[in-house]
Amino acid sequence: MKWTAKASRIVFLVAILLLLFFLATIPSPDWQTQLWLGTFLFFAALLLKTFLDGKRWVILTLISLSFFSTLRYAWWRTTETLGMGNPKVHWYEFPFIFLLFGAELYSWIILALGYLQTAYPRSRKADPLPPETEKWPTVDILIPTYNEPLSVVRTTVLAALNIDWPPEKKKIYLLDDGNREEFAAFAAQSGVSYIARPEHRHAKAGNVNFALARSDGKYVALFDCDHVPTRSFLQTTVGILEKSPRVAFVQTPHHFYSPDPYERNLNVFRKLPNEGELFYGVIQDGNDLWNASTFCGSCTVLRRKALNEIRGFAVDTVTEDAHTSIRLHRLGWESAYLNLPQAAGLATPSLSAHIRQRIRWARGMIQIFRIENPLWARGLTLAQKLCYLNGMLFFLSSLPRIIFLTAPLAYLYFGVRIFDADAYSIASYALPTIALSLLANAAINGRHRHSFWNQVYETTLAPYIFLPTLLAMIRPGLGTFNVTAKEGRIEKEFYDRRIAKPFIVLWVLNLGGIVSGILRYTGGFGEIPTILLTLAWTVHNLLIIGTTLAVGWERAQRRFRPRIAVNYPVRLSGRGGQFLYGETEDMSDDGVRIRLLKSASLRTGEEVRLEIPFLDRIHEFPAEVVGMDEFSIRLNFYPLTLEEEKNRVLLLYGRADAWVRLGLSEKGDSILKSLWEVALFALIGQARALKGILWSSGPKLSAPPEPVEKAS
């Protein structure tokens, strides 16, 4: 596109934005008119979404409508409802008014930046490599580890060995910061390089930088020790780097084959989108349009030259990945995001582990905000600055979230005004704005994040990340790097009272608010519309808090490694020489379940040989029958040789399409259905909370040990 045409389009868009702003600032003569206006816009948007859903121009139109509505609301809130100069507003009401306004201001900024990020997901395709493999570049695969068990790491190493890439152009490095002998032995046995450094400074970033100096491949692939790559990982990613020499790295999604705490504790695995799906499914893809996709620390291929230019991975913060990508972008390097899961890992095993992980992320992002604030960082484009800013501001959501969860209580308990406006006006401005933003987000996020769930996720973190982010804001150097727990077993379900404490407090406060509101209503203490509005708001808060409470109920998880649904044709040969044919239903590192084509009877404990054809070979595994019924049989693998184990990893984790679209929900987003789900979970959650508080015993966790903190 010629620059003049582009410039004229931009001028045209700016003119439209100015017109929208102009229209947004026109006041409504009364609340009925505003309600009429907002409702009309909402129904126009609803019609568009219902009949033309999925079209990008429709999504962009919905974004524009929501943007307009939010702008109008924000203008009204700022100019009409802060009580400035109104003698009827008492001095003690101003802190409440401004706290809520601040929280809303934050949410408007996040909403606008979110629209910018997700306006047009790039949906990049893999670029092909030259047909001659001798022209393929050399790649170093780095797998850093610190205290994770070998059982976790060996799968990743074996999967790395399985990656389809010319062996002479692929070097695998096991970077053991724990200096463990069994890791060195395993590396020697499997034929990968083992690097252990004498000093353990700067955690993961230091570990990888140490290895960078001792390797020389053109590209560096980096995997967390639990992220198991597919065999096609390099073939799908390196082509982009080869084709575009200014691209510093190609990031792929982090897929989790085990349920995260929300999915497990609410029993919604594969029914609701994974919590990380929004980021990897929509935001990163949208960032890619602005050349702002971020390096996420794993499942990435990076260009060594680019890393050398920034002197390796950033070591100043506990989120070295985001920090490294800022530095790369600042030097003009580009980034690429391939929205194709090419590796899978383990989700955090418990809610407490999940919260701990997010505390680190939050702290790290705020550290970057302080140390290398993208807004002032030279070399970044405006879009990059804004995308990074949104990534960081997200972790400042704790205070606004707590304010939203408690704001109506100020009125219900004490009759303190939090708006200088009547309830009808508030409702007429706010409700259409909320409805339009829900609609626009449902169109954007679709199967990647259902409505209302972001509030649940934010509420879960809010009480816990508030102090760390505040401290990081004040003293960015404080704090240590804590390794995320990746594997763990819960012998018996329990209610995590410790982690649920703040939510129980919020729950009780909001319940009290409801009671207080009813008393106000019946006693005539206050304006009825205001009471009803704040009561509705409190009920909404109770739904969100209730669902958060439900996540605190840790369900039993007796396997270290989850079963993964895979379908291979199999042949079983028993001692008697009979052959049984069937298909695998699911498989884990320990065993497999098979659905037989014909009924058969095998004895428990009987030894069988399992044959699975895949690619150009038949993979054989010795196994023992551990259970069966007429058409189904369950086998446990006998101890496997390294080669057999490698094959099992290939079958289980290595298929190129193993994880494609698995993080999405089965169905798209429906706002009302989502509200109903949240309401249902809220009821369950409150029952669970009561049961948990009154009867549940403490946690019964088993090995592996809790992750320990490591000095940064």
Cα separation, 127 vs 137, in Å, equals 14
Q: What is the DSSP string of 179-190?
A: --HHHHHHHHHH
Cβ 114 to other proteins shortest distance, Å: 15
Q: Among residues 336, 355, 426, 682, which is the contact residue for other proteins, using CB under 8 A?
A: 336
Question: Could you tell me if 634 and 620 are in contact, meaning their C-beta atoms sit under 8 angstroms apart?
Answer: no
Residue 281, by phi and psi: left (phi above 0), alpha (psi -120 to 50) or beta?
A: alpha
What count of other Cβ atoms lies within 10 Å of the Cβ of residue 88? 8
Q: List the catalytic residue out of 176, 224, 321, 669.
A: 321
Q: Which of 106, 433, 121 is nearest to 281 (CA)?
A: 121
* Closer residue to other proteins (CB): 24 or 671: 24
Name residues contacting other proteins, limited to 78-97 (CB under 8 A).
Answer: 80, 85-87
> Please, what is the minimum distance in Å from the beta carbon of residue 76 to other proteins?
12
Question: Minimum distance between the CB of residue 282 and other proteins, rounded to whole angstroms?
Answer: 15
How many residues at the interface with other proteins, by CB under 8 A?
57
**Of 49, 68, 187, 646, which one interacts with other proteins (CB under 8 A)?**
68
Residues 23-52 that bind other proteins (CB under 8 A): 23, 25-30, 32-34, 36-37, 40-41, 44
DSSP single-letter state for residue 280? I
The residue assigned the tokens 């982090």 is: 254
177, 260, 285, 288: the catalytic one is: 177
Of 653, 662, 661, 656, the closest CA to residue 561 belongs to 653
414 binds other proteins (CB under 8 A): no
Catalytic residue flag (residue 260): no
Phi first, then psi: what are they for 312, rounded to 5°?
A: 85, -175
Residue 589 catalytic? no
Tokens describing residue 124: 């990049």
Residue 672 in contact with other proteins, rule: CB under 8 A: no
Note whether 291 binds other proteins by CB under 8 A: yes
Q: Which of 16, 185, 515, 519 binds other proteins (CB under 8 A)?
A: 16
Nearer to other proteins, 71 or 549 (CB): 71
Least distance (Å) between residue 209 CB and other proteins: 22
Each residue 124-143 as x (binds other proteins by CB under 8 A) or -, in order, gives ---x----------------
Q: What angle do CA 128, 132, 134 make, to 5 degrees?
A: 115
**What is the closest distance, in whole angstroms, from the C-beta atom of residue 72 to other proteins in the complex?**
9
Contact 602, 633 (CB under 8 A): yes
Please select the residue that binds other proteins; options are 135, 243, 667, 700, rule is CB under 8 A: 243
Q: How many CA atoms lie within 13 A of 590 on its CB side?
A: 9
Q: In angstroms, rounded to a whole number, what is the distance separating the alpha carbons of residues 139 and 129?
A: 14
Residue 535 is encoded by which pair of tokens? 């009561």
Cβ nearer to other proteins, comparing 120 with 521:
120
Using CA atoms, how far apart are residues 662 and 658, in angstroms rounded to an integer? 9
The pair of structure tokens assigned to 104 is 């809303």
Please name every residue paired with 495 in a beta bridge, in sequence order, or none if there are none. 553
Residues forming the site for other proteins (CB under 8 A): 1, 6, 9-10, 12-13, 16-17, 19-20, 22-23, 25-30, 32-34, 36-37, 40-41, 44, 56-65, 68, 80, 85-87, 119-120, 122-123, 127, 218, 243-247, 289, 291, 305, 334, 336
Instruction: Indicate which residues carry an active-site annotation.
Output: 177, 321
